[in-house]
Structure 1
Amino acid sequence: MPVAVHVLGLAVFALGSSEFMLSGLLPSIARDMDVSIPQAGMLISAFAIGMVVGAPLLAVATLRLPRRTTLIALLAAFGLGQVAGALAPTYAVLFASRIVSALACAGFWAVGAAVAVATVPATARARALAVMIGGLSIANVLGVPAGAFLGTNFGWRSAFWAVGAASAIALAGVVALVPRTADSPTADGTDGPRLRQEMRIYRDRAVWLAVVTTALVGGGVFCTFSYLAPLLTDVAGLTPQWVPTALGLFGVGALIGTTLGGRLADAHLFGVMLGGVTASTVLLVLMALTARSPVAVVVFSFLVGVSAFFTAPALNARMFDVAGAAPTLAGATTTAAFNLGNTGGPWAGGIVIDLGFGFTSTAWAGAAISAAGVAATLASMRLHRSRASRTVASSASLAATGTPVSGASGGADRRR
């Protein structure tokens, strides 16, 4: 795997630490900012909204720029956003800093994914993307629990300062080790033809089905994960000191899941997608049923981390399959789709909590969303098989008449 891909994974570690560390900081932020825990949870949704909006917009806005330059600028802006969050005097300022950081994070993910995919053969896309997602998994193993530890012992602002420092280190790595590319501007210096070409992917229903599937898979898990800290302390009865441990186990599971999914997805894309989202649905139901057992909740936190991130390389690779002619927007669309789930999941969790159903209800709601993800995955499989059957029938018809058959028939959507 090229060294640039590993450097991108290192940068994603810093991005992921900021994106998810709030799960362990919600109680302290709520107390300090004098807001409810569901209101504090909206900071997670604010970040996700910024990712949803920022990914496609920044992908389009930076089409004419060299990708390395774009990555450097976005990572620098992200680091400054962490500093703004650490210094935020009010909830409103903290909310705004999360959106700004998310915009930079979204752009980095979109362009970084395009760079990662461009450096490897098509048959290794899932593995390259798994390296980037692995940075996110390591963030859950190390960054998120470390943020919870810092928040518990030194105040939640210290976690923002730590992520700002990690961003500076990642920025140095990108400057030093990610090579310059000259693949963004078109020959005449305009991005119009290329933009029109990439925008055509949104005419394909397979792309929109991939968006829905990805959003549901992410939403189901993060409906529960976003409120894991109060679920552990208020329902399971664990002390706050256990929260970093449980988050760390989720992260270990995520790293294991990403590694396994990355190795299998290139050969068994739909099998990985269906198996992972089905497992997440079952595990969330079991977590809801055993929510008052400290051991069970901690164990299921680990297993949900495995199942959730097992699907991630396959979901990313699926989008690049159906939108292969538009690599920049493919990465941006996947980022937006994941964060639609990250927005809707905490929002749904906050609703069931506000309705008085308690923190356990977030696991039930997450299971329901994941079950919808199973249905969307099955629909995506049916569409893929239908297109493959039509392609085979068309090729057979052309062969019977003696017409040469192009190997490109069927486009990029030819995966398992």
Structure 2
Amino acid sequence: MSLPLFALFLVVFGFTTGEFVVAGILPDVAADLGVSIPAVGLLTTAYALGMIVGGPLLTVLTARTPRRPLVLGLVAVSVLGNLGSAVAPNHLVLLVARFASGLVVATFFAVAIATAAALAPAGRQASAVAQVTLGLNLGLVLGTPLGTVVGQQLGWRATFVAVAAVTLAAVPLVLRYVPAAPGTSGSVLAELRVLADRDVQLAIALSAVGNVGVVTVFTYIAPLLIEVGGFPAGAVPALLLVYGAGAVVGNVIGGRLADRALLPSIAGLLAALAAVLVVFWLAGGVPAAATVLTFAIGLLAFAMIPGMQTRVVATAAAAPTLAVAVNASGYQFAAAFAGWLGGRVIEGQGTAAIPLVGGLLTVAGLVLALHLVRRDRRAAVTPS
């Protein structure tokens, strides 16, 4: 991994830990604030809504800002948002703080992914993107379990302080290694035109629809493992480590598969993920099976990401940063919906139904991926 990509990777690690660690401390937050598990699940929705709003808006407003100071500004807002989460006196203030933390994340991911793709040699863009998105994986494999342990030992507020500290620690590397690239020289209107492209729209839709099922499962993974899997609360960090280990493996595999056959690999991964989620619904009550399936879910969920991100960059060559930011917002729209939907499922059918719902939602993503495969094949044989 090159040093510029490594610097971006570290910031992604901090941001990802801040986003997903709520899944590990969710029961602790609920108990401390005196609210229900579904209510705390809305913290995921609030963070996601911040990304949905902030991604396109901030990316357009900062389009001409040089990349290095832009990244530093985004990191600063994230640090302040996490510190605000740590001192929130009640559930409402915590929701606002999570929303504020999410505002800058989509724009940062867009800058990081577009930078990675631009620095990569031809035919290796997906692998370069995978190196940056490895921060997502390690945010799960290390950040989320460690943050959960911190929350269990020192209180959930200490978790957000730790996230702010880790993110802040990446600043010197950003200053030293992120390329001093200028912002775009084009007009805002020219940037926005790329979103009217049908291929870009479908690529963004694929990220949203393809991920909503697995995000629903992950948002409520702590109560799922405790109530259905029969694990003690103290085992949740270790199981998040298992999930994250699968994510790391999947990230590497997914980048290589996407370099070889982009859309067919995404379709195959979605089919496998839907099947694994249904199996979890059937066998998740057996601890050994739940452990293996947790690894498999992490692997398949994160194997899709490099290909999905690369598809967006490839279809939006005229304005990749804005398109990737909107794509991140689309993913978070799925996360916002997942936080709400999972709570309704728990209140209705119970926690055990979460994996089945996730599997059915993933099938919708598979249908869209297969449609795009056919669409590309028709375009390849149609005379220009």
Tell me by how many angstroms 1:185 deviates.
Answer: 4.5
Q: Pairwise mapping of residues 10-409 of structure 1 onto structure 2 (< 5 A)?
A: 10-182=10-182, 184-186=183-185, 193-355=186-348, 357-390=349-382, 393-394=383-384
User: Over residues 225-280 of structure 1, what are the superposed CA-to-partner deviations in whole Å (9 max), with x where a residue is unaligned?
Assistant: 11111111112211111100111110000010001111221121112201111111
Tell me by how many angstroms 1:2 deviates.
Answer: 3.2
Aligned-pair identity (%): 38
User: Over residues 96-121 of structure 1, what are the superposed CA-to-partner deviations in whole Å (9 max), with x where a residue is unaligned?
Assistant: 11111101222211222222222223
CA distance in 1, matches of 2:75, 2:374: 39
AA at the equivalent of 2:230: G
Higher relative contact order (CA 8 A, sep 6+): 2
CA distance in 1, matches of 2:177, 2:134: 18
CA distance in 1, matches of 2:66, 2:121: 21
Q: Is the 8 A contact 1:127 1:262 kept in 2?
A: yes
Tell me by how many angstroms 1:292 deviates.
Answer: 1.4
CA distance in 2, matches of 1:185, 1:231: 45
Q: Is the 8 A contact 1:76 1:171 kept in 2?
A: no
Q: Is the 8 A contact 2:9 2:133 kept in 1?
A: yes
Tell me by how many angstroms 1:122 deviates.
Answer: 4.0
329-338 or 13-22: bigger deviation? 329-338
AA at the equivalent of 2:294: S
Q: Is the 8 A contact 1:250 1:306 kept in 2?
A: yes
Q: Is the 8 A contact 2:27 2:37 kept in 1?
A: yes
Tell me by how many angstroms 1:196 deviates.
Answer: 2.1
AA at the equivalent of 2:54: G
Give the direction of change, closer, same or farther, for the CA distance of 1:172–1:214 in structure 2 (3 Å limit): same
Tell me by how many angstroms 1:17 deviates.
Answer: 0.3
Tell me by how many angstroms 1:76 deviates.
Answer: 1.1
325-334 or 256-265: bigger deviation? 325-334
Q: Is the 8 A contact 1:77 1:101 kept in 2?
A: yes
Which residue of 2 is the match for residue 407 of structure 1? none
AA at the equivalent of 1:230: P
CA distance in 2, matches of 1:123, 1:20: 31
AA at the equivalent of 1:383: R
195-204 or 71-80: bigger deviation? 195-204
Secondary structure, counterpart of 2:65 in structure 1? coil
CA distance in 2, matches of 1:350, 1:45: 11
Tell me by how many angstroms 1:54 deviates.
Answer: 1.1
User: Over residues 271-326 of structure 1, what are the superposed CA-to-partner deviations in whole Å (9 max), with x where a residue is unaligned?
Assistant: 22011111110000000001211111121111000011111100001111111111
148-157 or 300-309: bigger deviation? 148-157
CA distance in 2, matches of 1:114, 1:67: 11
Q: Which runs of 5+ in 2 are unaligned?
A: none
CA distance in 2, matches of 1:244, 1:344: 25
CA distance in 1, matches of 2:331, 2:129: 14
Q: Is the 8 A contact 2:114 2:313 kept in 1?
A: no
Q: Is the 8 A contact 2:106 2:328 kept in 1?
A: yes
Tell me by how many angstroms 1:197 deviates.
Answer: 2.1
Q: Is the 8 A contact 2:106 2:326 kept in 1?
A: no
CA distance in 1, matches of 2:42, 2:33: 13
CA distance in 2, matches of 1:95, 1:85: 8
User: Over residues 29-56 of structure 1, what are the superposed CA-to-partner deviations in whole Å (9 max), with x where a residue is unaligned?
Assistant: 0111111100100101111111122111
Q: Is the 8 A contact 1:206 1:383 kept in 2?
A: no
- Between the two proteins, the alignment pairs up a number of residues equal to 384
Q: Which runs of 5+ in 1 are unaligned?
A: 187-192, 395-416
Q: Is the 8 A contact 2:67 2:179 kept in 1?
A: no
Q: Is the 8 A contact 1:320 1:331 kept in 2?
A: yes
TM-score normalised by L of structure 2: 0.97
Q: Is the 8 A contact 1:272 1:310 kept in 2?
A: no
The ranges of structure 1 where at least 4 consecutive aligned residues each deviate by more than 3 angstroms after the TM superposition are none
TM-score normalised by L of structure 1: 0.90
AA at the equivalent of 1:29: V
Tell me by how many angstroms 1:123 deviates.
Answer: 1.8
AA at the equivalent of 1:348: L
Q: Is the 8 A contact 2:54 2:106 kept in 1?
A: yes
AA at the equivalent of 2:352: T
Q: Is the 8 A contact 1:127 1:263 kept in 2?
A: yes
